[in-house]
Amino acid sequence: MNKIIGLLSILTVTLIISGCGTAKIAQPVVSSNSVSTTTADIVNVDIRDFTFIPDFITVKRGTTIVWTNNDTTLHRIKSPTFNSEKLSPGQSFSFTFNDPGIFPYFCFYNTFMGGQIIVQ
Protein backbone atom coordinates (compact mmCIF):
# COMPACT_ATOMS: atom_id res chain seq x y z
CA MET A 1 0.00 0.00 0.00
CA ASN A 2 2.86 2.32 0.88
CA LYS A 3 4.37 1.76 -2.52
CA ILE A 4 1.06 2.42 -4.25
CA ILE A 5 0.57 5.71 -2.41
CA GLY A 6 4.11 6.66 -3.33
CA LEU A 7 3.46 5.95 -6.99
CA LEU A 8 0.23 7.86 -6.75
CA SER A 9 2.06 10.85 -5.33
CA ILE A 10 4.55 10.77 -8.15
CA LEU A 11 1.73 10.55 -10.67
CA THR A 12 -0.04 13.50 -9.09
CA VAL A 13 3.10 15.62 -8.97
CA THR A 14 3.71 14.77 -12.61
CA LEU A 15 0.20 15.87 -13.50
CA ILE A 16 0.65 19.13 -11.60
CA ILE A 17 4.02 19.81 -13.22
CA SER A 18 2.60 19.13 -16.65
CA GLY A 19 0.00 21.78 -16.05
CA CYS A 20 -2.97 19.46 -16.01
CA GLY A 21 -5.01 21.73 -13.80
CA THR A 22 -8.01 22.60 -15.92
CA ALA A 23 -10.55 20.28 -17.46
CA LYS A 24 -9.56 16.67 -17.27
CA ILE A 25 -9.65 14.89 -13.94
CA ALA A 26 -7.76 11.63 -13.86
CA GLN A 27 -9.23 8.66 -12.05
CA PRO A 28 -7.46 7.12 -9.09
CA VAL A 29 -5.12 4.28 -9.98
CA VAL A 30 -5.76 2.32 -6.82
CA SER A 31 -8.95 1.08 -5.28
CA SER A 32 -10.09 1.56 -1.75
CA ASN A 33 -12.50 -0.09 0.61
CA SER A 34 -13.99 3.19 1.81
CA VAL A 35 -14.90 5.44 -1.09
CA SER A 36 -17.22 8.41 -0.82
CA THR A 37 -18.61 10.63 -3.53
CA THR A 38 -20.57 13.59 -2.29
CA THR A 39 -21.79 17.08 -3.10
CA ALA A 40 -21.82 18.09 0.56
CA ASP A 41 -20.15 21.35 1.57
CA ILE A 42 -18.45 19.75 4.56
CA VAL A 43 -17.20 16.17 4.65
CA ASN A 44 -15.97 14.50 7.81
CA VAL A 45 -13.12 12.03 7.78
CA ASP A 46 -12.76 9.81 10.79
CA ILE A 47 -9.21 8.89 11.81
CA ARG A 48 -9.59 5.59 13.60
CA ASP A 49 -7.51 2.44 14.01
CA PHE A 50 -4.73 3.96 11.86
CA THR A 51 -7.16 4.45 8.98
CA PHE A 52 -8.79 7.42 7.30
CA ILE A 53 -12.51 6.69 6.92
CA PRO A 54 -13.47 7.23 4.17
CA ASP A 55 -10.02 7.34 2.67
CA PHE A 56 -10.95 8.06 -0.96
CA ILE A 57 -13.35 10.94 -1.40
CA THR A 58 -14.64 12.71 -4.50
CA VAL A 59 -16.02 16.18 -3.86
CA LYS A 60 -16.94 19.37 -5.68
CA ARG A 61 -14.91 22.54 -5.59
CA GLY A 62 -15.25 24.52 -2.37
CA THR A 63 -15.79 21.50 -0.16
CA THR A 64 -14.22 21.55 3.27
CA ILE A 65 -12.83 18.28 4.57
CA VAL A 66 -12.67 17.93 8.34
CA TRP A 67 -10.38 15.24 9.68
CA THR A 68 -10.97 14.27 13.31
CA ASN A 69 -8.58 12.12 15.25
CA ASN A 70 -10.78 9.51 16.92
CA ASP A 71 -7.80 7.26 17.49
CA THR A 72 -5.84 6.71 20.68
CA THR A 73 -2.57 8.12 19.36
CA LEU A 74 -1.17 11.17 17.57
CA HIS A 75 -1.65 11.61 13.84
CA ARG A 76 -0.58 14.40 11.50
CA ILE A 77 -1.85 14.95 7.98
CA LYS A 78 0.85 15.59 5.41
CA SER A 79 0.57 16.40 1.71
CA PRO A 80 2.13 18.72 -0.86
CA THR A 81 -0.92 21.01 -0.53
CA PHE A 82 -2.15 20.84 3.04
CA ASN A 83 -0.57 19.96 6.36
CA SER A 84 -1.97 19.74 9.82
CA GLU A 85 -0.22 20.25 13.12
CA LYS A 86 0.02 17.13 15.23
CA LEU A 87 -3.49 15.99 16.05
CA SER A 88 -3.99 14.58 19.51
CA PRO A 89 -6.97 12.30 20.07
CA GLY A 90 -10.10 14.44 19.82
CA GLN A 91 -8.51 17.19 17.72
CA SER A 92 -9.57 18.14 14.19
CA PHE A 93 -8.02 19.71 11.12
CA SER A 94 -9.89 21.16 8.16
CA PHE A 95 -8.95 22.23 4.65
CA THR A 96 -11.12 23.76 1.92
CA PHE A 97 -10.46 22.52 -1.62
CA ASN A 98 -11.08 25.38 -4.03
CA ASP A 99 -9.12 23.98 -6.98
CA PRO A 100 -9.87 20.83 -8.97
CA GLY A 101 -7.32 18.05 -8.84
CA ILE A 102 -6.21 14.90 -7.11
CA PHE A 103 -4.83 15.38 -3.64
CA PRO A 104 -3.21 12.34 -2.04
CA TYR A 105 -2.15 12.63 1.56
CA PHE A 106 -0.74 10.46 4.30
CA CYS A 107 0.05 10.50 7.98
CA PHE A 108 3.39 12.07 8.84
CA TYR A 109 3.89 9.64 11.73
CA ASN A 110 2.41 6.52 10.12
CA THR A 111 3.22 6.73 6.45
CA PHE A 112 1.26 3.56 5.68
CA MET A 113 -1.86 5.60 6.43
CA GLY A 114 -3.04 7.24 3.24
CA GLY A 115 -6.02 8.85 1.60
CA GLN A 116 -6.96 10.87 -1.41
CA ILE A 117 -9.31 13.75 -2.16
CA ILE A 118 -10.49 14.20 -5.72
CA VAL A 119 -11.91 17.66 -6.39
CA GLN A 120 -14.03 17.96 -9.52
> Which residue ranges make up the site for Cu ion (CB under 5 A)?
75, 107, 109-110, 113
* CB 14 to Cu ion: min, Å: 26
Long-range interactions of 51-58: CB distance < 8 A, separation 24+: 51/113, 52/113, 52/114, 52/115, 54/115, 55/114, 55/115, 55/116, 56/28, 56/32, 56/115, 56/116, 56/118, 57/115, 57/116, 57/117, 57/118, 58/117, 58/118, 58/120
Work out how close the CB of 71 gets to Cu ion at its nearest, in angstroms, rounded to a whole number.
Answer: 7
Shortest gap between Cβ of 44 and Cu ion (angstroms)? 17
Nearest to Cu ion of 39, 88 (CB atom):
88
State which residue, 75 or 103, has the beta carbon closest to Cu ion: 75
Residue nearest to Cu ion (CB): 107
Helices of type H across 1-120: 2-17
Rank residues 101 and 114 by Cβ distance to Cu ion and give the closer one: 114
Please report how close the Cβ of residue 11 comes to Cu ion at its closest, in angstroms: 23
